Structure 1
């Protein structure tokens, strides 16, 4: 397979994360053991890793540094679940964010990815919140994202990137654009998950081109358009959609990667982290590695990760 050598533009650092091995939770017997995940990740050829749910990988910085170093892996950042629309959870969310930030900085990471609170349960699909926020809830969401970004940036030097997510209050293109308009760019950037954005029929290339200065981080993946038709028709929960295979590997998925890679290479910056995050929970332990290998080879062929 021929690798494209991008002419100019930012370096597109290619990595992956536990999600691509079917990991959604810190501890779940249906998930790939963390040692196997790290071995397979590095064996595929990845050199960058997003750490995944806090507690899945070792949280002692010295041990984690050793485990990653022995496998030639470097850290891009880590995600934290942050139901910032709910003011009653502010203190616990901030405490969790600080705990994650301490680990990320200790192992040399640069980003904290904010996963918003969901309106449906990840495992059961049961409704647990209103689907759309009222004015007060939206203002709380905006205010708390700005404040969390300010604190984490000032205290830990990390870039905070908000991740629009299926079954959350910021999932459609209109909601994402409203969120970017209302939040402070000094404190909040965008983690564009191409699969989640396509899941709600957003225009990935369009959002990159319209808000180039807000893009902080990319999760690269796609959806199976045929499965998505069923998801839309039956209003399936995201967890159920994943079980039915809605997240598909490239190039047999939407959106197509090549235009996204071109849009990223047009950005005026030195580097962009592009992390493969193909939702597979739950899956058999021997499923992720062949998918990861094919995805790695394909993404490099279209100019992502050529220089790692």
Structure 2
């Protein structure tokens, strides 16, 4: 086992328990998720979809404290490319930022809305932004980043995601090249970068100072080929098992940990293995094996 990298903190998220929505009959109750997260040996967690965990700060703090858990950050979907939806997006991000800050978390992961319905796969938005939309996105991201830090003391990390307009490496670079480093960082999701055909290690090398938060996951190359050959949506890809536990899949998590450990930054590295929907007894053994494997790579003592 490698010595844990002192600048990296390991955590996990409701996503690794098959949680995509605030409420869904296919998802485990939040108490079971928290119990199993602690049992699997994790100390840090990301909050997941707003409303899945308690949104009353006092109730949430009690639930976490009695399990020895701490919050790394929150997660929210927000439309950056539609000017008339800016205030709505800012309000959505703000309520997640407030809850995150109430638990001592300092990061909010901001994901563009998917242009496909997560359950049906139907395309319901533009799949590429034009130059004017990119200018709108850059301005909105900068404004929200400044606002969330001023009001709540949290940093915004924009998250590339399958079936969004920020997925491929050129799109990720367009986001970073057009935004203010003081206001907007990158949530490097290693699996979604691979899903979009990007090079994680290249992004780490060239945009090291912009990486503010990390989701670590791996994708099955065989299913990725099916995605491209058949034009699959992300929901169908997940059902086919596109997300896999380490050391299977791409990118190699050991390479990612080695590259991140060399950065001059303290980073949360949050495990995400998309499992929606899954049987209730599936996530816990995977979570334990994943933690043990990543510990062996030098990621986290817990």
User: TM-score, normalization: structure 1?
Assistant: 0.96
Q: Which residue of 2 aligns with 1:128?
A: 124
The C-alpha deviation readout for 1:267-297, integer Å capped at 9, x for no partner, is 012x210000111111111111111111011
Q: Which residue of 2 aligns with 1:4?
A: 2
Alignment equivalent of 1:100, drawn from 96, 101, 104: 96
Matched residues in 1 for 2:135 and 2:122: separation?
25
In 2, are the aligned partners of 1:250 and 1:298 still within 8 Å (CA)?
yes
Matched residues in 2 for 1:40 and 1:83: separation?
33
Matched residues in 2 for 1:182 and 1:275: separation?
26
1:38 equivalent to 2:13? Answer no
Matched residues in 1 for 2:80 and 2:276: separation?
25
Q: Which residue of 1 aligns with 2:275?
A: 280
What RMSD over aligned residues (CA atoms) do the two structures have, in Å? 1.0
Partner SS for 1:226: helix
How is 1:179-198 mapped onto 2 (pairs within 5 angstroms)?
179-198=175-194
Alignment equivalent of 1:149, drawn from 141, 145, 151: 145
Matched residues in 1 for 2:6 and 2:79: separation?
32
Alignment equivalent of 1:207, drawn from 203, 208, 211: 203
Partner SS for 2:186: strand
The C-alpha deviation readout for 1:102-146, integer Å capped at 9, x for no partner, is 111111101000011221111111011111011221111111111
Return the offset for 1:79. Answer: 0.6
Q: Which residue of 2 aligns with 1:22?
A: 18
Alignment equivalent of 2:136, drawn from 140, 147, 154: 140
Matched residues in 1 for 2:114 and 2:26: separation?
22
Return the offset for 1:259. Answer: 1.2
In 2, are the aligned partners of 1:11 and 1:305 still within 8 Å (CA)?
no
1:62 equivalent to 2:85? Answer no
The C-alpha deviation readout for 1:43-82, integer Å capped at 9, x for no partner, is 0000000000000000111110010011110000101111
Q: Which residue of 1 aligns with 2:294?
A: 299
Aligned length: 302
1:75 equivalent to 2:74? Answer no
Q: Which residue of 2 aligns with 1:290?
A: 285
In 2, are the aligned partners of 1:10 and 1:264 still within 8 Å (CA)?
no
Q: Which runs of 5+ in 2 are unaligned?
A: none
User: TM-score, normalization: structure 2?
Assistant: 0.98
In 2, are the aligned partners of 1:227 and 1:245 still within 8 Å (CA)?
yes
Return the offset for 1:88. Answer: 2.1
Return the offset for 1:265. Answer: 0.8
Structure 1 residue ranges (4+ consecutive) displaced by more than 6 angstroms after TM superposition = none
Partner SS for 1:274: strand
Matched residues in 2 for 1:117 and 1:133: separation?
13
Partner SS for 1:49: strand
Partner SS for 1:56: coil
Q: Which residue of 2 aligns with 1:268?
A: 264
Q: Which residue of 2 aligns with 1:252?
A: 248
